[in-house]
Amino acid sequence: MSDPILEARDVHFGYRHAAPVLAGVSFAVRPGRSMALVGESGAGKTTLLRLLLGLARPGSGAILFDGRELDLRDRARRLEFRRGVQTVFQDPYSSLDPRQRVSRIVAEPLRSLGLGSAVADRDTSRSSGLGSAIVGPDVSRTDRQAEIRRRVTAALDSVGLPADAADRYPHEFSGGQRQRIAIARAIVCEPRVLLADEPVSALDVTTRVRIVDLLAELTRERGLTVVMVSHDLGVVATLCEDIAVLERGRIVERGAIDTVLGSPSHPYTRRLIASAPRLPSGRS
Ligand X SMILES: Nc1ncnc2c1ncn2[C@@H]1O[C@H](COP(=O)(O)OP(=O)(O)OP(=O)(O)O)[C@@H](O)[C@H]1O
DSSP-assigned letter for residue 3: P
SS3 at position 124: coil
18 touching ligand X, by CB under 6 A: yes
Binding region for ligand X (CB under 6 A) out of 35-43, 59-67, 141-149, 261-269: 35-43
41 touching ligand X, by CB under 6 A: yes
Q: Considering beta carbons, is residue 249 or 280 the nearer one to ligand X? A: 249
Least separation in angstroms between residue 144's CB and ligand X is 38
Tell which one of 13, 29, 36, 39 touches ligand X (CB under 6 A). 39
Q: How far is CA 130 from CA 104, 119, 166, 195, in A?
A: 17, 11, 16, 20
153 touching ligand X, by CB under 6 A: no
CA–CA dist 268, 249 (Å, integer): 13
Strand order in the sheet with 20-29: 20-29, 6-14, 60-65, 68-69
Least separation in angstroms between residue 91's CB and ligand X is 12
Strand order in the sheet with 242-247: 85-88, 193-197, 225-229, 35-38, 242-247, 250-256
47 touching ligand X, by CB under 6 A: yes
33 touching ligand X, by CB under 6 A: no
Give just the sign of the alpha carbon dihedral 187, 192, 196, 202.
Answer: positive
Least separation in angstroms between residue 194's CB and ligand X is 18
199 touching ligand X, by CB under 6 A: no
Give the interface with ligand X as residue ranges (CB under 6 A). Answer: 15, 18, 21, 39, 41-47
